[in-house]
Structure 1
Amino acid sequence: MSDAVLLDVADGVATITLNRPDVRNAIDLPTSLAIAECLDEVDERPDIAVAVLTGAGSTFCAGMDLKAFAATQERPIHDRRGAFGIVRQPCEKPLIAAIEGKALGGGLEIALACDLVVAADSSRLGLPEVKRGLVAAAGGVLRLPRRIPQAVAMEMILTGEPLTAEQARGWGLVNRVAPDGQALAIARQLAAAVAANAPLAVRAAKRIALDSADWAADEAFDRQVAYTDPVRSSSDAAEGARAFVEKRAPRWTGS
């Protein structure tokens, strides 16, 4: 795995670190491939329940590495996971963004590919592409109106102006605001709360929440059965019931 992306695993939580602080963690093609490789490993390893994505140094991610693109003409796109190795197909397990500094353009699009967001108090989140004659086509204009009220999303998209961390939390884009320098620590606390739950149930719940966005109302309950029946009949479901009756912490096996 590339040194541009680091993976650390402890207590069921994977920490993925974009490790290019000298270019504000901008993404070139090798880095996008390394991100996709990390997400593959997160999905495949049974000892990982949830992942946290963060950036080294003072910036979460500056989006595409324009200098690298100018030199190579290679866009940072993975053939399956899409731009930046993540935006088209994030990992199946829960993913939490831990943002310090700026998450603008592609940086915010990477955060929007995550399920939960923790942002440091002085961080800024925005899509400034229109200021540069571009469109936030790596998920920005697609996902932002689905995460926050459309009027707010449209103002961000059309003006290119960012939100503060507190504003983003007020509109539901950010789950937790952390003191500067503590976003990763708070994100890991949130990840630990997720990792304490039954892994099959967590993955199925995430999948339903995302896949059901375009389900017809009169079909939704029937369609979720394919996701929920395997969980209901799992060993973990039985263990959860036993642990409740016996007043102890459950011992999940992921089966």
Structure 2
Amino acid sequence: MSDPAEPAAAAVRTQERDGVLVITIDRPEARNAINGAVARGVADALDRLDDSGGLRVGVLTGAGGVFSSGMDLKGFLAGDVPVIAGRGLGGLTERPPRKPLIAAVEGYAVAGGFELVLACDLVVAGEGARLGVPEVKRGLVAGAGAAVHLPQRIPPAIALEMLLTGDPITAGRAAELGLVNRVVPDGTALDGALELAAAVAANGPLAVAVTKQIALAAPDWSHAERWTRQGGLMGPVFSSEDAQEGARAFAEKRPPVWKGR
């Protein structure tokens, strides 16, 4: 059973790799079910990602060949709530990080585990992975993002089929629907995510962060305001030292050296 006093460090491991912060849910004995300790550990790791000038991209994964089986129901019944106020399930679903976050999925990413995946910006999945929202099979509602976001991410009829039947889909089907960026051989999702993260991390950090902000916010902007809003966000990037460095490095045919300012 989940222990409400379980320290976050025991449930979530982190490792820095060349500007990438790998965040691993480390409860393989519970199929990486999300409890309070996981939520606190993920939230702490995401704060570290956003606050560190040396970190450019985050990768979220699970230990033991499983991404996450969702909310720890035993812990929930014992009063261990895996939600951080203002941040949502797992410390992520309501307030993702400012910097890019990539999910590396092996095995099952279901229920709340799938909702963590939906909160990530990019997804790399092993070909044997299964993704889905079985909440209705347990008399629950996928309230940590799937019921809200899934009909906007994929055709509504397909989203409703997933939500109302609770049946999972394969990684290949998820890729066809646009939920997964890359499908890789089982056991290599983390390697694939790190490869993708390296490609993102090589770019200007200010430009990457603002590009993500614009891309995610733009659907809520009216036609009349979108250019003004985008311009306000872009201005500081175009006047930054990094913008000058990017142009200079291109002219000098060398890799840029970003300063994040």
What TM bracket, shorter-length normalisation?
A: over 0.9
1:214 deviates by: 0.9
d(CA) in 2 for partners of 1:64, 1:118: 22
1:17 deviates by: 0.3
Name 1:64's counterpart in structure 2: 71
- Is 1:29 the counterpart of 2:36? The answer is yes
1:30 deviates by: 1.9
Name 2:220's counterpart in structure 1: 214
Name 2:15's counterpart in structure 1: 8
Which of 37, 54, 60 pairs up with 1:47?
Answer: 54
d(CA) in 1 for partners of 2:76, 2:141: 17
Name 1:173's counterpart in structure 2: 179
Name 2:151's counterpart in structure 1: 145
Name 2:255's counterpart in structure 1: 249
Which of 144, 159, 164 pairs up with 1:158?
Answer: 164
Aligned runs of 1:84-103 on 2, under 5 Å?
84-103=90-109
d(CA) in 1 for partners of 2:150, 2:199: 26
Name 2:4's counterpart in structure 1: none
Q: How far does the alpha carbon of each residue in 1:157-208 deviate from its partner, in whole angstroms, 9 at most, with x for none?
A: 1221211000110110000001000000000000000000000000000000
d(CA) in 2 for partners of 1:144, 1:14: 27
d(CA) in 1 for partners of 2:208, 2:152: 21
Equivalent position amino acid for 1:89 in 2: R
1:94 deviates by: 0.1
d(CA) in 1 for partners of 2:193, 2:153: 19
1:84 deviates by: 1.2
d(CA) in 2 for partners of 1:104, 1:172: 17
Name 1:198's counterpart in structure 2: 204
Name 2:136's counterpart in structure 1: 130
**Structure 2: runs of 5+ lacking an equivalent:** 1-7
d(CA) in 2 for partners of 1:246, 1:150: 49
Report the 3-state secondary structure (helix = DSSP H, G, I; strand = E; otherwise coil) of the residue aligned with 1:224. Answer: helix
d(CA) in 2 for partners of 1:103, 1:124: 6
1:132 deviates by: 1.6
How big is the alpha-carbon RMSD for the aligned residues of Structure 1 and Structure 2?
A: 1.0
d(CA) in 1 for partners of 2:121, 2:249: 28
Length-normalised TM-score, structure 1? 0.97
1:138 deviates by: 0.4
Equivalent position amino acid for 2:18 in 1: D
Q: How far does the alpha carbon of each residue in 1:206-226 deviate from its partner, in whole angstroms, 9 at most, with x for none?
A: 000111121111211111112
Report the 3-state secondary structure (helix = DSSP H, G, I; strand = E; otherwise coil) of the residue aligned with 2:95. Answer: coil
d(CA) in 1 for partners of 2:72, 2:138: 15
Q: How many matched pairs?
A: 254
d(CA) in 2 for partners of 1:239, 1:109: 38
**Structure 1: runs of 5+ lacking an equivalent:** none
Name 1:229's counterpart in structure 2: 235
Which of 230, 238, 249 pairs up with 2:244?
Answer: 238
Report the 3-state secondary structure (helix = DSSP H, G, I; strand = E; otherwise coil) of the residue aligned with 1:2. Answer: helix
d(CA) in 1 for partners of 2:206, 2:152: 25
d(CA) in 1 for partners of 2:168, 2:227: 38
Report the 3-state secondary structure (helix = DSSP H, G, I; strand = E; otherwise coil) of the residue aligned with 1:131. Answer: helix
Calculate percent identity across the aligned residue pairs. 54
